[in-house]
Structure 1
């Protein structure tokens, strides 16, 4: 169940007291999950559907965080729930061990790697590599080092899953998926300044291995962009943004806003902040809120876009980050540039052209027709011209 659906049904219950029973929808368990993650006091009902609560926590990537909150409440957690949490913790520990080995190998190549998401993010935001579960490892290396790292991974028994994309290449070995990046994302989607991220990055330590970490501001901007790309459809992505914003001085929040504007990421940042406000209002710092209200028009647009993420009318809402960006971007010229960029050919379009022996230059014309064929006129229109 997505974060938007979980939030929608939870809000129909009083999340500060023992939830009421409902025979048709999992209102009680969703409300309990939200309340625990908010850190609010509550009573865990004796008739809690623990199987359903476990499924909700797994789907939203917050099982160990939920268990931590339940133990703090003194809840009588059933054995199968504890076993599932232990299995999740063990998987996270194994992934951390794999990352440690990769970093050691890259050090042997004299390659600096910037680890993001996964165990390093868990350690940075939650203080424990096991508290944030992940399914793969993401490593950013510089363009000049990418080929050497590819060769090294293959020599270590990894198998490449296809050619490199516009920003990464995926490798797998014994079920372990490694995404080796030379860019954080396709630039047409998010204008993340990877060279600037490298310059602003800082040295860090992960289990005794050298690694580079994003600056605090870059991490927030990346998490907002990544969460928006996926429609903030998992609670862990919202919690990540909330945790990354803690403990700053007001002048640091102001600098974050300035940097977001310079990079064209202000709508992504503001939507991320408004999503945190909607789901975990207690965790949005007051000093940041004071900075946000200094841009009332941009903040209003972001609130409107964030509200759509939690709409229950799922047949109407198009879960496409482009429409949310266009809804939050205050500049008309930037909105039109973004629309034209969306209609421009992508790396996937060029692969399709090559597989069909079509001259690549024709994709400038064919791209809009491919979009219409795949999504239909109605969806494309709603993405490019969302309700304001």
Structure 2
């Protein structure tokens, strides 16, 4: 706590931020106990916890350390949420195992991302980490077959993509599907992220590095800890770290082992232009929750003078909504190579095609330039409406 300035946060916000990490020492517990006594709006605490996906983590800490100073009514609200999440986590893990087995029967190697497997491996408890869907990675050559298999099991695409599949496969990275009766959503990936988010990523190398892990009585193929760390750093950066949960993931992974080869990890990150995005995440978890990081990491942090400003941007928007331009500026600044900044802007503004773009375009062509033009048109219409709405509100005021 001595590393981070909490002065601008309300007591409720400090409590949410500090209690998000499940492991506390005696000094931290004493500090948080003083915060609990200052909290006046527990509805706000519960709202923030829900937004950031950490209600279960807060309940874990309350139950362990603060149940004597938190009212019974508030404890019951947290407990009820926890019990619901336990049931939901079991349901999701069962569905994930079913899907993985089904894909394996069709000789499709599938890798679960985030979700219940991440919770089991790095939190030690599936119900501690919250998630709203199942993310599964399959080889690009087999993703359409995998989607057909899920559709045969009752899943439906949230935005059906019929024509223009080849364009979409090149420009995007996942299909979104939902089971209407089971109320379960699946993101079926053939790439971890869009090309403009990570240009030097190799699916072949990723599969080569996979490890076998025990999960719910089954052997599942998982990303290596190193690849998991890189992926989650890039994923969090892509979304401006809008959920505290994603930083907790980084903290739990980093402290899950002592034998990290940081020299190799940082060298690879430097080669692929992902070093700054990784260092920002490590910088934050060290200062928020005092997660130990290696001397080499600390030296790299000291060499990059932009980290403090980037971390400040993230923290300023933990409890205040950010604008699209804030996200874009952050993603540009968090890239250390000028070429990567340009590629990101090009992809974000022009070449990164979303399902919404495909739907808006009517999927009438296999020509990528058709969809690029449609994307620009859709974004112009979208943001012009927002701009006009802002002007209208100011006039009414």
Task: Give the TM-score, by structure 2 length.
Answer: 0.78
Render the CA deviation track for 1:63-97: whole Å, top value 9, x for unaligned: 11111111111414532331122112221121112
Change (3 A) 1:180 1:317: closer
Q: In 2, are the aligned partners of 1:122 and 1:129 still within 8 Å (CA)?
A: yes
Partner of 1:133: 130
User: Closer, same or farther in 2 for the Cα pair 1:205/1:375, shift >3 Å?
Assistant: same
The question of 1:153 aligning with 2:150 is answered: yes
Q: What is the match of residue 331 of structure 1?
A: 337
Residue of structure 1 aligned with 2:8, choices 6, 12, 15: 12
Q: 1:182 to 1:129 in 2, by over 3 A?
A: same
Aligned position for 1:384: none
Match of 1:108 in 2: 105
Correspondence list, 1:286-325, <5 A: 286-287=293-294, 289-294=295-300, 296-297=302-303, 299-311=304-316, 318=324, 320-325=326-331
Answering whether residue 233 of structure 2 is matched by residue 233 of structure 1, we say: no
1:33-53, Cα deviation, whole Å (9 max, x unpaired): 223235221323397543332
Cα RMSD of the aligned pairs, angstroms, is 3.2
User: Deviation string for 1:304-355 (max 9, x for gaps)?
Assistant: 2221122369698656544223213333344344444445423245665555
The one of 179, 184, 190 aligned to 1:176: 184
Distance 2:249 2:193 in 1: 18
Written as runs of structure 1 = structure 2, the 5 A alignment for 1:1-388 is 11-12=7-8, 27-38=10-21, 39=24, 40-41=28-29, 42-43=32-33, 44-45=36-37, 49-76=41-68, 77=72, 78-161=75-158, 162-163=160-161, 165=168, 166-173=172-179, 174=181, 175-191=183-199, 192-249=201-258, 252-280=261-289, 282-283=290-291, 285-287=292-294, 289-294=295-300, 296-297=302-303, 299-311=304-316, 318=324, 320-348=326-354, 352-353=360-361, 360-361=368-369, 374-375=382-383
- Whether the 8 Å CA contact 2:360–2:374 is kept in 1: the answer is no
Shift of 1:106: 2.1
What are the ranges of 5 or more consecutive residues in structure 1 without an aligned counterpart? Answer: 1-6, 14-26, 380-388
Aligned length: 353
Are the aligned partners of 2:173 and 2:192 in contact in 1 as well (CA < 8 Å)?
A: yes
* Structure 2 unaligned residues grouped into runs of 5+: 388-397
2:53 and 2:244 in contact (8 A); partners too? yes
Superposed CA deviations along residues 353-388 of structure 1, whole A, max 9, x for unmatched, are 555889753666776676555447xx9xxxxxxxxx
Deviation readout 1:159-213 (Å, 9 max, x if unpaired) = 2221264222122112111111111121112333322211111122211223211
